[in-house]
Amino acid sequence: MIPRHLILPDRGTLLVSTDLHGNAEDFLRLRQHFENLLQKDPQSRWLLLGDVVHGPDERARQDQPEFYDFPDESYRIVEGIMDLQALHSRQVIFVLGNHDHGHVGGPRPAKFYPDEVQALEQKLEPEQVAKLRAFFEEAVLAVAAPCGLLFCHGVPDDSLRDLCELDRIGLRPASKDGDGQHVLSCLLRAYGQQASVVERMFLQLDQAHPGLDLRMVIHGHDRDPEGFFVEEGNQICPVIFGALKEHKRYLVLDLAKRYERPVSLREGKEIRRLYA
Ligand SMILES: [Mn+2]
């Protein structure tokens, strides 16, 4: 059984980044910020919230250069994360996104290409495809921290009762795991939930994991030109892919603190610009 969830400790620095969709310039910039954090605290962690693969096609690059004019370097990013994990094993954590899931049994997303999985895999050598799939097979689905935050690619609903249930979910739809596939679908594909649904889910998780006391979901999956948005008072999306370059945001959190409300995350402190 591959562990699909992780509970972080109540100390240390955590960098959180969202969708990259093949943008190696953004990845390398984040890596630079992570390396700077490591200089100050060698135990710093970097949490990537999925959708690292599937970059723009030529048409998107031409039509909307302000968002999409970059080469698709999906495989280079996956390799870069694997290299970092080899160096800092448990400190670099990858959470699966729906685009990544397409390579390991999930529904194949259409975005720039009608079948993004096929479009990427046909550009790779067989050994690269095998490495890419092996990397995604090992991914976690959700991460929680006693600082009050739950981290996922999408936003789960109240069918999620216990993070340990995630360890029993198969990545392939044929798996017989009750409402596991519904939980998985929300985790990877839901853009948001009603505030009360998230509150109910948090109450359930607090019962299953005493001491977590969750207050907000930090997620990716969505885009926003301004690089950041809050929904329903308890769901927050810092945006890299799909934000204007000067507005691309990521988070730097202190796991010893408590983040109870959106205002707990301050611009320039916890919320940082990728290209400041
Ligand atoms: Mn997504």
Q: Which domain holds residue 108?
A: 5-273
Distance 223 CA to ligand 1 centre (A): 9
Q: What is the pLDDT of residue 45?
A: 98
Total structural domains within the chain: 1
Strand order through the sheet with 216-219 = 5-7, 142-145, 149-152, 216-219, 235-238, 228-231
Please report, in angstroms and rounded to a whole number, the separation of the first and last CA atoms in the chain: 42
- Is 89 a residue whose pLDDT tops 90? no
Distance 99 CA to ligand 1 centre (A): 6
Ordered DSSP codes for the chain: ----EEE--SSSEEEEE---TT-HHHHHHHHHHHHHHHHH-TT-EEEE-S-------HHHHHH-HHHH-S---HHHHHHHHHHHHHHSGGGEEEB--HHHHGGGTSPPP-SSSSSHHHHHHTTS-HHHHHHHHHHHHT-BSEEEETTTEEEESS---TT---GGGGGG--SSTT---TTHHHHHHHHHH-----HHHHHHHHHHHHHHSTT----EEEE-S---TTSEEEETTTEEEE-STTS-GGG-EEEEEETTS---SGGGS-BTTTEEETT-
**Residue 68: how many CB atoms within 10 A of its CB?**
20
Domain of residue 121, CATH code: 3.60.21.10
Distance 86 CA to ligand 1 centre (A): 26
**Ligand 1 being an ion, which residues bring their Cβ within 5 A of it?**
51, 97-98, 221
- Is 193 a residue whose pLDDT tops 80? yes
Residue 178's pLDDT band (boundaries 50, 70, 90)? Answer: confident
For residue range 196-230, list pLDDT tens digits in order.
999 999 999 999 999 999 999 999 999 999 999 99
Closest to 234 in 3D by CA, of 264, 255, 273, 212: 264
Distance, CA of 168 to CA of 163 (rounded, Å): 10
Distance 176 CA to ligand 1 centre (A): 24
Q: What is the pLDDT of residue 14?
A: 98
**Residue 16: how many CB atoms within 10 A of its CB?**
25
Distance 239 CA to ligand 1 centre (A): 12
- Is 174 a residue whose pLDDT tops 70? no
Q: What is the pLDDT of residue 177?
A: 72
Residue 149's pLDDT band (boundaries 50, 70, 90)? Answer: very high
Q: What is the pLDDT of residue 175?
A: 61
Mean pLDDT score across all residues of the chain: 96
- Is 133 a residue whose pLDDT tops 80? yes
Distance 222 CA to ligand 1 centre (A): 7
Distance 97 CA to ligand 1 centre (A): 5
Q: What is the pLDDT of residue 19?
A: 98
Residue 1's pLDDT band (boundaries 50, 70, 90)? Answer: confident
Q: Between vectors from CA 158 to CA 156 and to CA 160, what angle results, nearest 5°?
A: 65
